[in-house]
């Protein structure tokens, strides 16, 4: 279950992307399949599991809590579920590496257990804010504490029983919503989450709970479930990750002569903001072969080069593309005119401050990029050459790699080891598609 991790990328300028590609399995769905499979009654089988460090850390955490898990072997995992009350006290601190999803979702499950636990992660994760899950969990009766300023590690002590509540989310966040729904599985009474009017967030947790036989009621922005019911084991077919596909969507859009097909990509309607934004910019994107995989909509996507235009991003699309903006910023740098993003404060509390980091890198490459408190203003033009820092953020590293397709000289990207968290075969797949990339 080990993956190859590269420290730096060096990419020669030019090239085009062609062929048929299948990017790795969806990270969000891979995380949730392990969590719900572990809590279910019976044996759950997963196909297409993402064998990246983030997902593997979630898997290891449940193994540490007594869940028997076989694999992954070529994306296949078998989980022998222990039921809703079957987790055991871990003998060690639960380490989730760089995964904010693991940290936040696991905190909801662990807050309801009859044992103590400690959740921690790598240097990047331990500076990320966790108050957004700590505060509502405490309202449910949890005994959970962070370190200074509510940052990891998180220390969780047992309580007699969590209590369901109605929680109006101040900021759209699928991780917070999912944390509270998972806590609600163990709570007395009903747990109700009301999402903000600024936009609905990805609904993978609700869909997968339903797939495991757990009733979830969704009415617009209101999601609710009753606690103390059972989950039933099932088979999960993980589609290819749209967030990983986004880099190739952008690369093919900006590089003349490109024509690629991305296969079996998940297009959950709460995740398709990147497609909508690129189409508004004039991208040549065609979806075909539509079908369902494990309750999730799946398509093949053809992308060809197009002359992109800068746009003002509709704020309703921001939550639907929050993880894809590093790639979208590269598209904006290659577009004609001005690109404006607002309402994306969430980007400042990801693996790094993605607004600041992307602006810094784009400026290094000669792009007119101005960060704002909640977004970015970019005037498209020529991309130069230089060395940029990813700040340990996998999406920033891959975004700047794709920028080389339109660069005037080589681009070097430092601190790329965390690419393995979400896209362990990125270098090989990008090279096969036509990127002039060397990794070391």
Residue 37 parent element (H or E): helix 27-39
- Measured distance CA(108)–CA(82) in Å, rounded: 17
Active site residue 323: yes
Specify the 3-state DSSP secondary structure of 252: helix
Beta strands, E only, 230-343: 235-237, 259-266, 284-293, 296-304, 338-341
Is residue 57 a contact partner of residue 96, using CB atoms and an 8 Å limit? Answer: yes
Specify the 3-state DSSP secondary structure of 326: helix
DSSP H helical ranges for 143-272: 174-184, 204-211, 242-254
Beta strands, E only, 130-189: 143-145, 154-157, 166-168
- Measured distance CA(67)–CA(88) in Å, rounded: 8
Question: What end-to-end distance do the CA atoms of the chain give, in Å?
Answer: 21
- Measured distance CA(380)–CA(82) in Å, rounded: 53
Cis preceding-peptide flag for 72 (omega within 30 of 0): yes
Residue from 26, 122, 323, 415 carrying the catalytic annotation: 323
Is residue 195 a contact partner of residue 169, using CB atoms and an 8 Å limit? Answer: yes
Active-site residues, by number, are 323
């Amino acid at each position: 279950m080990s993956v190859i991790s590269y420290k730096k990328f060096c990419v020669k300028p030019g090239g085009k992307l062609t062929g048929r590609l299948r990017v790795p399995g969806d990270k969000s769905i891979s995380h949730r399949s392990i969590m719900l499979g572990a809590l279910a009654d019976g044996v759950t089988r997963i196909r297409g599991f993402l064998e990246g460090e983030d997902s593997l850390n979630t898997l290891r955490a449940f193994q540490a809590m007594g869940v028997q898990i076989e694999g992954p072997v070529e994306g296949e995992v078998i989980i022998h579920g222990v039921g809703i009350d079957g987790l055991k006290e871990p003998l060690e601190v639960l380490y989730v590496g760089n995964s904010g999803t693991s940290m936040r979702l696991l905190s909801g499950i662990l807050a309801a257990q009859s044992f103590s636990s400690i959740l921690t992660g790598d240097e990047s994760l331990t500076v990320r804010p966790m108050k957004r899950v700590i505060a509502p969990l405490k309202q449910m009766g949890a005994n959970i504490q962070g370190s200074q300023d509510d940052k990891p590690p998180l220390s969780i002590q047992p309580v007699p029983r969590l209590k369901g509540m109605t929680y109006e989310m101040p900021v759209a966040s699928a991780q917070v919503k999912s944390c509270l729904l998972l806590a609600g599985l163990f709570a007395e009474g009903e747990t109700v989450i009301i999402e903000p009017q600024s936009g609905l967030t990805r609904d993978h947790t609700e869909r997968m709970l339903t797939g495991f036989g757990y009733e979830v009621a969704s009415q617009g922005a209101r999601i609710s479930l009753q606690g103390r019911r059972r989950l039933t084991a099932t088979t999960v077919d993980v589609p290819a990750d749209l967030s990983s596909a986004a880099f190739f969507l952008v690369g093919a859009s900006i590089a003349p002569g490109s024509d690629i097909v991305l296969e079996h990509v998940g297009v959950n309607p709460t995740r398709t903001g990147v497609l909508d934004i690129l189409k508004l910019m004039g991208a040549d994107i065609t979806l075909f072969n539509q079908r369902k995989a494990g309750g999730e909509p799946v398509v093949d996507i053809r992308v060809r080069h197009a002359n992109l235009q800068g746009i003002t991003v509709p704020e309703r699309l921001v939550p639907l593309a929050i993880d894809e903006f590093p790639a979208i910023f590269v598209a904006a740098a290659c577009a004609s005119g001005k690109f404006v993003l607002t309402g994306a404060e969430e980007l400042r509390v990801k693996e790094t401050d993605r607004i600041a980091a992307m602006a810094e890198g784009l400026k290094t490459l000669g792009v007119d990029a101005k960060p704002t408190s909640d977004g970015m203003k970019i005037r498209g033009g020529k991309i130069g050459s230089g060395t940029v820092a990813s700040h340990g953020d996998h999406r920033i590293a891959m975004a700047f790699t794709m920028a080389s397709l339109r660069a005037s000289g080589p681009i070097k990207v430092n601190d790329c080891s965390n690419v393995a968290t979400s896209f362990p075969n990125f270098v090989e797949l990008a090279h096969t598609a036509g990127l002039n990339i060397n990794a070391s």
